[in-house]
Structure 1
């Protein structure tokens, strides 16, 4: 009995056949649907006559595609643009990943279009990465491939330290499926009546006006200067007697939405999340002043919230890492998606930084160098040595230089006192000496990353 190709083998065969189909000079798009089945679309719109799918060449291609890609071949695996309703939805999709550029008087372009539920936004890096307009408010994302690495605590510590310097800070809890930072920043019941999920579900039906999305945090005592910390939680705290079904809302927020009116632009999830963040920023400004810094506490793992946050919503991204194989395998898998778009991967790599989370050896420089080498290896495999790169990143900085490469880890020290820390018992826990010591280098480094380009505006 002949064994059928598995998922990866079938996809490799489909890509090879797509390149074969492009040899005649036509552009092709390989579409992979939610079940992993592939369909090859051939752009015949520039031909004098539509491509005949009953021709010997087309029939042979269809039979070979079915034979080599089955069971991951679509029901009608080879189609042409002239027979597809609104072909621009495929050939002009912004999330296309180009595998082969069009050559003059040569093969056509080969592109891939992934129709996914989770993970598609890791590769769908929009042009806004390169041409993103300068924001007045600096946005910093906190992300970890693995959970439980102290991401939310670090967000809170940095928010308070920035506020102590007189800045207005907004913290947004984007860990919608496992909210946590709200408990560190607000007393029980002191969060606003609405959260990020409320904006996402209400704006989907044009009903977001009047939502109360932000509240002043109690993490910074009022007497400490003119700094401010604001919180936009994942979930709100409804008024007594009013229903609040968080799970029902969560189940309805991730889909893209059609245009509000015929001929309008669709509303992808990334844009909806951007609108929610912008609404929170606007409310802080209405209640006091425009936030100087927005800290985005992102969802961990392979999730579209994380993908959108890192690729589209932030100016600086902090990637939390514990030095173990699962962490580096995870980052290697995710960052390799950016390698599919080398021009934009170059823009992304300049705004990320590795954080050595819960680092146990404060004085062990060798262990920190080992973590740095592991981070370097992942970055070199995924984000450096890209096509048209005219240099290689050095592993060691020139003597006397500050090591500020993205793969240079910023340590957060770990101590036994942090294990039993209960932030709810005292709002002054960030002032404890062992907390200050653990986060000193992290806070100093990240403050420079965040504030130096903006100091003249603060």
Structure 2
């Protein structure tokens, strides 16, 4: 009985066959479709291959033999036989597996056709755009949910506003909105939410949406402000009319697709660009409210492996705070994500410079041994994936002696855990962010993020 070819083995073999094709001097694109089937595209426009050439005959046979059910119906195709080869060979989402060698092998690139998750390894970091934007965007993300990310976002927003800053908080946890309940005044929510912008903009109807509400945590003294862009809107009942229905799920089910060009000759509109447009619209509306643009934008991202998290981390933020609880599942998850970035060294280098680990719900304030263990696990994950990259001229950081504090990305920013935080109901506890045990739990975290914000301003100036 022959052993069946499974998904992972088929992909590894397909990558090797792509290398064989590239060894003949041709650029190759390896496509994996939604079912996991692979197709080799060979760029022969400068050296056309006959349909029955030895190379093509060999590759077709090997694809069918080695990939089994994961070989496409036509597993090997040539650019010279395609109507528009640049749709594949010049696609912006290509990931380079091996670069072109001078007077040698051609380039091998990968093109993944997936429903979700492609943005984890898509070339998306636009440092030029980040530097042009005068305000700082900070993403808060956890691979696992339930680690206190939204609570930390609310407390951080108030802390920054107490420093006199204008803070915009955007709730991007669209499947499980949480930050809105911590920041919003139940009687004064925004009429529209992020899902409204994504659905209305798809048909060119986003003008006039009211996306912001003033947060109930805005300090009463000083110049600081907190504005909230909720995931969902709060319909307004107008005089003489019934309250309009609001079908959140119907909108949510339609937002993640890429869209065709809005007009002939235009560019297609990716989900990443549409999400950028929604956040930009919220930033513009803060200026319209008081004539003041935000100083800091906090993006409360969805947990787990999802397109929203991928886009937020790789494309939309200046800094990313990755919440971690010290257990095997957390580090296995982050290694999986880091390995996606590792496929593109330029992306990996950019990401390691913008992320910081947060020791979420850390149980012992004075237990340096446990904090050092978490730091060691974070360090190992970084070293295995985000350092020692091709053409890397940045020396690998060393792990300092235990007890020393360092500012490397793997150095955890602790948020202490206390039993009093369990079951805290912000709606019933007025001034909950100022309670002594809350302030004590978040003190080190707030101080560290405040420094990150100041450093970000220096980098932009």
**Aligned pairs (5 A) from 1:377-388:** 377-388=380-391
Residue of structure 1 equivalent to 2:153: 155
**2:277 corresponds to which residue?**
275
Match of 2:360 among 339, 354, 357: 357
Shift of 1:252: 0.6
Distance 2:427 2:218 in 1: 14
User: Contact between 1:130 and 1:347, CA under 8 Å: does it hold in 2?
Assistant: no
Q: Kindly report which structure 2 residues correspond to 1:22-421, keeping only aligned pairs within 5 A, or say none.
A: 22-47=22-47, 50-126=48-124, 128-129=126-127, 132-221=130-219, 223-240=220-237, 241-288=243-290, 289-390=292-393, 391-396=395-400, 403-421=406-424
Deviations 1:34-83 (A, max 9, x none): 11111000001112xx3222223312210111111120111111001122
Contact 1:218 1:427 in 2 (8 A): no
Distance in 2 between residues matched to 1:332 and 1:130, nearest whole Å: 27
| 8 Å Cα contact 2:368-2:403 kept in structure 1 | no
**TM-score normalised according to structure 2 size:** 0.95
Query: Is the 2:258–2:271 Cα contact (8 Å) retained in structure 1?
Result: yes
Asked if residue 454 in structure 1 is aligned to residue 457 in structure 2, the reply is yes
Alpha-carbon distance between aligned partners in 1 of 2:348 and 2:273, rounded to the nearest angstrom: 20
After the TM superposition, which of the residue ranges 27-36 and 443-452 deviates more from structure 2?
A: 443-452
Question: How many residues align structurally?
Answer: 454
Query: C-alpha distance in 2, partners of 1:41/1:397?
Result: 51
Structure 1 position 24, deviation (Å) = 1.2
Counterpart Cα distance in 2 of 1:399 and 1:357: 19
Q: Unmatched 5+ residue regions in structure 2?
A: 238-242
Counterpart check, 1:436 vs 2:439: yes
Change (3 A) 1:92 1:398: farther
Q: Taking structure 1 as reference, are residues 95 and 66 closer, same or farther at Cα in structure 2, changes over 3 Å only?
A: same
User: Contact 1:219 / 1:427 at 8 angstroms: preserved in 2?
Assistant: no
Aligned structure 1 segments of 4 or more residues deviating by more than 6 angstroms: 397-400, 455-458
The alpha-carbon deviation at position 130 of structure 1 amounts to: 6.6
Deviation at 1:97, TM superposition (A): 1.1
Kept in 2: contact 1:195–1:235 (CA 8 A): yes
Q: CA deviation at 1:266?
A: 1.3
Specify whether residues 91 and 414 from structure 1 end up closer, same or farther in structure 2 by C-alpha distance, changes over 3 A only. Answer: same
Change (3 A) 1:46 1:127: farther
- Specify the SS of the correspondent of 1:171: strand
